[in-house]
């Protein structure tokens, strides 16, 4: 597997090895030993799958507050997404900055997002499925997020606000300027 760093410390893009033959291909999406060797030393406890019917569906920017913050490993099973991570770690040199990757089912790349970052994505085609592993169970009392279109964050989304398909919950998320970070530089 190839591991590419990003501008935000701890956020990496992983390209698994692809074994191709006449039948198609085989990919090992997660191997704890290989991930640990690459510096990703988390134990995943839950797998999630989302399906988005329409292009332009935005999910996020989501995160869980301590003590139940989560690291995520995101991959696309079908379709493609614009995947975003925003650094919320108060002592981080990249606090308030974002990175994005174009993840597709065809390229099989994954993005690892450590604890202390918000995560969101926008579907780039209809009928997109996104799978992600997390290292902490869902805790509704710690569920939080930021508005996807927050002007302070200035994320360069590939859609306009009019094109965005959002949940009622995501429409009502708060602004970064009002956010007081509970995250240290190590995520909690």
d(C-alpha 104, C-alpha 179), whole Å: 31
Identified catalytic residue from 62, 95, 102, 119: 62
Distance CA(102)–CA(109), nearest Å, equals 9
pLDDT digits (tens, 9 = 90+) for 46-104: 999 999 999 999 999 999 999 999 999 999 999 999 999 999 999 999 999 999 999 99
Q: Give the whole-angstrom CA distance, residue 162 versus residue 150.
A: 14
How confident is the model at residue 168, as a pLDDT? 97
Identify the DSSP state of 124: S
What pLDDT score does 46 carry?
96
Candidate list 25, 119, 132, 175, residue with the active-site label = 132
For the chain, the distance separating the N- and C-terminal CA atoms, rounded to the nearest angstrom, is 28
62 counts as catalytic: yes
175 assigned to active site: no
Residue 136: closest CA among 57, 61, 72, 41: 72
Give the pLDDT band of residue 31 (cuts 50, 70, 90). Answer: confident
Reference 149, options 181, 117, 178, 176; nearest CA is 176
CA–CA distances in Å: residue 121 to residues 58, 85, 101, 132, 166: 6, 9, 9, 12, 11
User: How far apart are alpha carbons 146 and 29 in whole angstroms?
Assistant: 29
């Amino acid at each position: 597997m190839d591991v590419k760093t990003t501008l935000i410390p701890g956020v990496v893009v992983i390209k698994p090895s692809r074994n191709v033959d006449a039948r198609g291909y085989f990919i090992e999406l997660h191997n704890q030993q290989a991930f640990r060797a690459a510096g990703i030393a988390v134990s995943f406890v839950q797998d999630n799958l989302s399906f988005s019917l329409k292009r332009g569906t935005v999910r996020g920017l989501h995160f869980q507050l301590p003590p139940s913050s989560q690291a995520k490993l995101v991959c696309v099973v079908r379709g493609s997404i614009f995947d975003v991570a925003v650094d919320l770690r108060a002592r981080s040199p990249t606090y308030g900055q974002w990175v994005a990757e174009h993840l597709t089912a065809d390229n099989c790349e994954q993005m690892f997002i450590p604890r202390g970052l918000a995560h969101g994505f926008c579907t780039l085609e209809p009928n997109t499925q996104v799978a992600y592993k997390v290292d902490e169970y869902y805790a509704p009392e710690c569920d939080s997020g930021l508005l996807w279109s927050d002007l302070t964050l200035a994320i360069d989304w590939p859609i306009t606000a009019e094109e965005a398909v959002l949940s009622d919950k995501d429409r009502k998320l708060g602004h970064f300027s009002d956010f007081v970070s509970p995250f240290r530089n190590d995520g909690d």
